[in-house]
Chain A
Amino acid sequence: MAQFALVIDLNTCVGCHACATNCKEWNTQAAFGPLSDFDPYGKEPHGVWYNRIMTYETGEFPNTQVFHLPKSCLHCQDAPCVPVCPTGASYKREQDGIVLVNYDDCIGCKLCSWSCPYGCREFDEADKVMKKCTLCIDRIYDETLPPEHRKPACVLTCPAKARFFGDIEDPNSEVYKVIKERNGFVLFPDMGTNPANHYLPRTETKVHIDEHILKPDNPLFLEVVQKHYKGG
């Protein structure tokens, strides 16, 4: 059974928010829009986003690392947000594993958002229905688009090429390979949701210092040594 998903490389994601912005841009005018905004230019802008980027810092000062985590619906294979829906508006597609909301059936009870451990569903106060990432289902199957454009908006726009899209169950797909080769991991594995979206872990990058820089006659020698040994 196919399971479409996104794979996001935390090594190259620079946290520019381009994916979130392009997601909003595409989806607000496409089949699953709009993504309503309130007071967009005022003091308290408020609105629906399918994709949000969080920034975290690990390690103890001064040895810290910052990384960015773009988080949209993970299209969980055991999606807990589906069975709780009283109307069946929240459903998971058999053919490609995409989790969607049928806006015509949704009564806006918000119970599905209570049952998502990732905070990936947002209620639209204007349309009064629950909204979430559609994996750009209105792009990936659109035959009027050139084949190279039949990908999610966020994947196409990512300037760092940190986002991959494909079928994680298909051993020939790019996403299957990167997950395998680079130890792709999922968020909150203990929650029993079995997310389809994966993340590629950060790998340590070591600074290589050339021999000649460390020679005492290098005018920058002191600075380099100080910098290098600051941490103790």
Chain B
Amino acid sequence: MHPPFSLIWFFLTAGTSIGLFTFTYLAELLSLFGFDTSLPRNMVVFSVVFSLILVGLGAVGASFHLGHKMRAWKAIKRFHTSWLSREAVFSGAYGFTLLLYGLSYYFGLNAFFIHLFGITTLILGWLSAFSTAMIYASNRFVLEWNTSLTVLYYLNMYLMLGSSAFLATTYHYKPQLVKPFILLTLFFVILGLSFRIAFNIRQFFLKRPTLNEALNLPHNRPIRVLDTGTTTNNYCTEEFYYAKGKEMLSFVIPTFYVVTFLVPIALLSYSLISGNLSYGFYALTYASLVIGSAIERWSFFVEGNHVQNLFYGLYPKEGYTLRKGYMERRKTKISL
């Protein structure tokens, strides 16, 4: 699939926004139950303003994916069937209640209202994250995406971005929370690593359809694409098959594994073990996670193979072939 930069931008901005708000608000919420997690006023204001700006920038960025930006509001009309519609509704509502939370906190409204807005924002934020992930996970024509791992990884990505952003912020405002958040960020990054490895391994075991199935021909009939009707690329061959990206995958996949997972793990565990709690580690961790996740999301798109590519002979091969009179099961060949 062709990776749209506007969507990658949205994932990163919404991810940091929702993630950072989650940890900020949870710290505030826990303090209600007697934990010493209540945050300095400045930190809450900073987090909320930063989250608001990010979700705004994310929405503007995502609209560049649309052909008609001014009609974007119409995307709320099919809430009952479309995950994209749900995403639009939930992320819009998230931004709105986040603003309410920020205002009520800033002007010191009744604590009940502050927490009411806080909890609503939290729930809406995660519903929006879940809906975004479901747009991809529910597409049964891109087998690589059509798995719960897509959702798990995606939600965990928000937690990775959020906890590392919180870590870099809390360093300045409430240093007592630095150590717990090093551990928490490490935990999410390691979890993300295992989800991503599982996502990649799963691709080798996919039962892929064949051109014979697409054309409804017997399995044992060899078939080749001779001509696709045009001398150049068309929408179908560009949107669903990113040739340049496919060539780069063998280089990009190891790169994002290093930048998204290995570098943050190394930085955080060094800081934890050596006891050197300097800001540089956390700023770098966050930066590395953002850059790595951008590359990872790019790769997520390029790794996806749409079944319509079968008609163009651009789909990874698997299935049965007729060789020397008997049937042979071919191994999935993934061209990186």
Contacts and interface: CB of A to CB of B under 8 A. Distances in A.
Interface in B57-83: 65-69, 71-72, 74-78, 81-83
A8 to B, nearest CB: 13
B226 interface: yes
Contacts of B236: 119, 122
Contacts, number: 161
A71 interface: yes
A54 B229 contact: yes
Interface string B133-147: 001000111100000
Contacts of B141: 80, 114-117, 191
Contact of B222 (A54, A58, A84, A88): A58
Interface of B: 1, 65-69, 71-72, 74-78, 81-85, 88, 135, 139-142, 209, 211, 213-217, 221-236, 239-240, 306-309, 311-312, 322
11 contacts: A45-B231, A48-B235, A52-B228, A54-B227, A57-B224, A69-B215, A86-B84, A107-B66, A107-B67, A107-B74, A116-B141
Contacts of A111: 82, 84, 135
Q: Is the interface of A mostly helix, strand, loop or mixed?
A: loop
A129 to B, nearest CB: 6
Contacts of B235: 48, 113, 122-123
A85 B221 contact: no
Interface string A90-123: 0000000000000001111111011111110011
Contacts of A71: 311
A226 B311 CA distance: 36
Given A66-B226, A106-B68, 17 more contacts: A48-B235, A55-B225, A56-B226, A57-B226, A69-B215, A80-B140, A83-B82, A85-B82, A86-B77, A87-B74, A88-B77, A109-B75, A114-B141, A114-B239, A115-B139, A117-B141, A122-B235
B214 A188 contact: yes
Contacts of B78: 83, 85-88
B303 to A, nearest CB: 15
Contact of B71 (A44, A57, A107, A199): A107
Contact of B67 (A44, A53, A129): A129
Given A56-B223, A87-B75, A114 B306 contact: yes
